[in-house]
Amino acid sequence: MKNLFTIILLSFSLSGLAAPIRKFISIDKNILKSIGPELSYSTQTLVENGSAAIVELSLPQIEEVSHKIHSKLHRCGGFMAHDSLAEARGIISNKSKTFSFIDYSVSEQAKVVPMLEQVSEEEIRKMVLALSSYETRHYQSETGTQSVQFIHDSWVKLSRHRSDVKVELVKHDQWAQPSVILTISGSAKTDEIIILGGHADSIAMDGDEAPGADDNASGIASVTEVIRLLMVNNYKPNRTIQFMAYAAEEVGLLGSKEIAKSYRKEKKKVVGVMQLDMTLFKGSQDKDIFLISDYTNKAQNTFMGKLIDEYVKVPWGYSKCGYGCSDHASWSSMGYPASFPFETSMEDHNPNIHTIDDTLESAGGNADHAVKFTKLSVAYILEMTK
């Protein structure tokens, strides 16, 4: 009798009836909806929160999910496996900042490449000259406010034929210079936002004149060129795009801090942020673009590297500021994924910034270097809003 039991038990476990390992999967609801019908089993959602769901699966079932995401959606990831329901709940809870299923695939060559060919060095150069011709864009000066009004008016002019675009001056309580935000409403994922920004203000240590051509008329000129190209090509994004010219960066990232804080408070879904601050000066011989690796998001930085290889085709590397050196840090500190591609390595940075000599002339006399950052921005915006 005892032997018979042993045989029965043994044959049960050999036939796979021993309890299989099960995991709790947090997954984007849209992904689940799209691959669900093609799975060989049916899934039951245990918990839902916002755009995320939790389902319980065995290891072979998880493998099938991964294969289907690859074969149907042509992408990687999109879900995470957890040992307990509690852990999975923690990840998808609103409090958690680690939950994000961002598609970092590179697939929009057909749209990106033709637009890259239209990036105009002359347009960028003209905007750098226009902005650096203000005596100063200091956040407390009259010309500081006038120059921001000029950015606002330029963006209105570029977008006035589009009813899905609005341009706003964002007022700040504690100083006069406003920020500017241009919004293109997304047609499918309207609540998800991609941000491209740079600071509008300038500063000088050696007197009242602060042309700030490289720091940061160049970044605003690149942002403006991206807006021009999206408008000329009548681009309609799935996600919402916001272009930002921040006030008062030079005195402690004040404008971007206020905006990022209010976005966090209002629980706005910022999926990605890209910062442009200094794009004119090619001061490092070996490489053209340096991704700032501190106060930025690692996964998005890796994606930026892929975009440079695919679309800009220039040598790039990483560098560090060592502190929150520009507006990307305002977004990072609010838990949003931000990246900051920079014109040189930190050691080689433009020696003329924050002086009367920060001019187009001293940064090389043309906007060839800025063209590379503008191309990267076009690629980032189109890939992130597909």
In the complex, the residues that contact ligand BES under the rule CB under 6 A are 215-216, 249-250, 252-253, 277-278, 321, 324-326, 342, 346, 349
Out of ligand BES, Zn ion, none, which partner does residue 252 contact, by CB within 5 to 8 A per kind? ligand BES
- Cβ-proximal residue to Zn ion, closest one: 215
- For residue 124 the two structure tokens come to 């960028």
330 binds, among Zn ion, ligand BES, none (CB under 5 to 8 A by kind): none
Task: Check if the beta carbon of residue 376 is closer than 8 Å to that of residue 314.
Answer: no
For the bound state, the minimum distance from the C-beta of residue 59 to Zn ion, rounded and expressed in Å, comes to 52
Q: Which of 108, 249, 358, 383 is catalytic?
A: 249
Phi, psi (degrees; rounded to nearest 5) at 87 = -65, -45
Q: Are 321 and 346 in contact (CB under 8 A)?
A: yes
Using CB under 5 A as the binding rule, whether residue 192 contacts Zn ion is answered as: no
Q: Which of 216/297 has CB closer to ligand BES?
A: 216
Consecutive H or E run containing 333? helix 328-333
In the complex, the smallest distance separating the C-beta of residue 254 from ligand BES, rounded to whole angstroms, is 9
277 contact choice in Zn ion, ligand BES, none (CB below 5 to 8 Å, kind-dependent): ligand BES
Residue 276 CB, nearest approach to ligand BES (Å): 10
Preceding omega of 216 cis (within 30 degrees of 0):
yes
Eight-state DSSP code of residue 20: P
Size of residue set near Zn ion by CB under 5 A: 1
Beta-bridge mates of residue 341: 291
Is 258 in the active site? no
Q: Spot the catalytic one: 192, 201, 277, 358.
A: 277
Q: Residue 277 catalytic?
A: yes
> Reduced to 3 DSSP states, what percent helix, strand and coil does the chain have, rounded to the nearest 5?
40, 20, 40
Q: Which of 201, 215, 258, 288 binds Zn ion (CB under 5 A)?
A: 215
Residue 306: CB minimum distance to ligand BES, A = 23
Q: How far apart are CA 137 and CA 133, in angstroms?
A: 10
- Alpha-carbon distance of 182 to 98, in angstroms, equals 28
Contacts of 372 by beta carbon, 8 Å cutoff, 6+ apart: 279, 288, 289, 312, 314
Q: Cβ 221 to ligand BES, closest distance in Å?
A: 14
If the CB atoms of residues 186 and 341 are measured against ligand BES, the closer one turns out to be: 341
3-state secondary structure of 10: helix
Instruction: Pick what 349 binds: Zn ion, ligand BES, none; C-beta below 5 to 8 Å, kind-dependent.
Output: ligand BES
Q: Is 199 a catalytic residue?
A: yes
Q: Compare residues 237 and 255 and give the one whose CB is closer to ligand BES.
A: 255
- Name the active-site residue from 103, 108, 215, 258: 215
Selection from ligand BES, Zn ion, none that 351 binds (CB < 5 to 8 A by kind) is none
User: Residue 123 or 249: which CB sits closer to ligand BES?
Assistant: 249
Of 215-223, 279-287, 329-337, 374-382, the segment contacting Zn ion by CB under 5 A is 215-223
Closest separation between CB of residue 354 and ligand BES, Å? 6
Distance CA 137, CA 105 (A): 38
Tell me if residue 274 falls in helix, strand or coil. Answer: strand
215 is catalytic: yes
Specify the residue for token string 């839902």: 48
Q: 354 an active-site residue?
A: yes
Can you tell me the distance from the alpha carbon of 92 to that of 357, in angstroms, rounded to the nearest whole number? 50
**Residue 225 a catalytic site member:** no
Inter-residue long-range contacts of 306-309, CB under 8 Å, 24+ positions, other chains counted: 306/104, 306/106, 307/106, 307/376, 307/379, 307/380, 307/383, 308/341, 308/376
- Structure letter (DSSP) for residue 185: -
Nearer to ligand BES, 28 or 215 (CB): 215
Which of the following is catalytic: 199, 328, 349, 369?
199
**159 token code pair:** 């977008």
Q: Annotated catalytic sites, by residue?
A: 199, 215, 249-250, 277, 354
Residues at the contact surface with Zn ion, assessed by CB under 5 A: 215
